[in-house]
Chains A and B, each alone.
Chain A
């Protein structure tokens, strides 16, 4: 396996990654992690070790980096001030930039492109809103499209065939 010794610096440069190199592997993050309780694959301490060892391909290519639920328990308890939730965000951002993206997120973008929002607001919800004196929610595809365009997501995750049809 090819190692990238600069990988830890790349992550340390990102917001929240500053203290990454201070980790002394006490394991309180893993012991606090609710995801680890249900999924053996996810281990914050191990992810940090992998980053520090420069296992870039393995980390960015893996399924587990998408599992963090951002509960901040690890960030709260880390004695060395490693903001692991933010480290995870940095890793995820880098993964997307390098073209590794989890199919679930690609699917979400697909839905966004189609409907302009992730959860469809149907007639039933809209009637409820009107009853509360709130305006109706329309399909706001154009607006979301613009955001996707500005964020440059179209270059990273190309449109699918069926995106264009709607």
Chain B
């Protein structure tokens, strides 16, 4: 941390909040709200004189509220920069009559009550999001009585109690009577792997944290009896299993089973639990002088604000979504933005450092090149045809398009476009052309497929990343699917325009399938939500026109689901067989009439 503060190429902004980030890869403009510290950073020598005289005493957040701090303080001993700051919410006031003791005491006169918040603006090429995580609050799990029973603590509090710089100077004591406990119990998975009252995922770090804690405890006090109640001990990393073994050898008892509830003995303040040792199918009663809840980690509460700054998306667990879970694990879907640490998923120190190094390298690669190569499949705007309806701006997952309907202006940053084509599909005025996936190209594919014997062809629109790859997997695995399938590749299912589907039906297709990535796995953030909306609208429209909506299908198939692809195609084949030639001819007639009506309407409008 000190190195960061000293590095000539790193500018550290503390007490600061990013207000807005505009622009795109290589050209981000950042606006930062730097809050006043009320102490001149460069002058302060951290001599502690001001702290001694400060009369305000409040709970110390860093010590988990187990000890106190003053209104003028350093958050924790290693904090960078090593300068005090005043917590103005608790300071007795800038009025020198009220207090002002610290300013009087400071020899270097570096306390300035009149310091103002600042707005700092600057340009950067790339952004790394490393906003960290929060710790799960076990108060709502009333069976553990955290917050009610003083001797029930969280793993974070345990950490402070055992630390040499902690509230008890490294002496492990229990909160009620401040003496060393003889027995300590640990409960795992508090708030993790809990569908109902916590987080559904495994928090990744708590098993190893507990193992480390028990080893520390046994190291300091070999006479303390420690027991761990767990569901599964996940010692998965390098050297982890060895640590687990050492903990067991040190005499820590591991019991597979989660206690039902903790009951406090009102006299001794000891904690009693009833637990089933599930490996022995045996009920056991244990009494501890202290219990530690091994709490999980949760996404930060202020994540939505960061998300808005950079148009990021989240995975269902609430952490930020990477561009690709396997191949681009540090990149955000927005170019030039990278992730490090727990903002992306719960991680331990080693994984966080690994990801941070990778993110720094990824960011540096872009900066060193000075140029960014874009895919050629971006969209092209024709401002003459645009009616400024704003639908494209709403549909764009990357906010590449901005429309001002009042001023009748449209602006488009091509560098932000990833080529999903959702804007092109949504545009009703043909003002947007998708390069390499133009309307003409797709329509002529449909025409060619349906030129002969259209009644035994099924038109399938498949997205490049999932469904088309799923079809590939299916073929690669030599799985059989009916020969009626005719695939048309688009980058995203969001590209599938209403008119393509209607055109296919007009050309005599018995069945049309729109397929894309699973709902939360869209490779273009949330473009497939627009697919869903559009297909739902189309079902209504088909019904209104007297065409069976069952003939249009929406399927989510991922790249790994070759078997599912084959099965879906077989199911569709069954449905296709039920569509008669008469029905197809009827549909062609309806849609041709509809097209004619539309053409006449357009002509009238032109006149």
Contacts and interface: CB of A to CB of B under 8 A. Distances in A.
Interface of A: 19, 22, 24-28, 30-33, 36-37, 40, 43, 45-46, 73, 77-81
Given A31-B273, A32-B143, 8 more contacts: A27-B258, A28-B257, A30-B278, A31-B259, A36-B283, A45-B278, A79-B193, A80-B195
A27 B274 CA distance: 11
B281 A43 contact: yes
B423 interface: no
Nearest to B198: A79
Contacts of A27: 256-258, 275-278
B278 A73 contact: no
A77 B143 contact: yes
Contacts of B194: 79-80
Interface in B93-107: none
Contact of B260 (A46, A77, A81): A77
Given A31-B260, A32-B260, A25 B196 contact: no
B196 A31 contact: no
B231 interface: yes
B195 A79 contact: yes
Interface in B216-237: 231-232
Nearest to B192: A79
A26 B257 contact: yes
Contact of B274 (A25, A31, A77): A31
A17 B193 CA distance: 19
Q: Which of the listed residues A36, A46, A77 has the most CB atoms from chain B within 10 Å of its own CB?
A: A77
A30 B275 CA distance: 8
Would you list the 6 A-B pairs with minimal beta carbon distance, nearest first?
Answer: A32-B260, A31-B260, A27-B257, A79-B194, A81-B195, A27-B276
B283 A30 contact: yes
B559 interface: no
Contacts of B257: 26-28, 30-31
A102 B273 CA distance: 33
Contacts of A81: 195-196
Nearest to B196: A81
A27 B187 CA distance: 13
Given A79-B196, A80-B195, A73 B260 contact: yes
B520 to A, nearest CB: 19
A45 B276 contact: yes
Nearest to A24: B231
A28 B196 contact: no
Contact of A43 (B198, B260, B261, B276): B276
Contacts of A19: 195
Contacts of B434: none
A151 B143 CA distance: 39
A25 B278 contact: yes
Contact of A28 (B232, B260, B277, B283): B260
B258 A26 contact: yes
A54 to B, nearest CB: 19
Nearest to B259: A31
Contacts of B259: 28, 31
B454 to A, nearest CB: 42
B232 A31 contact: no
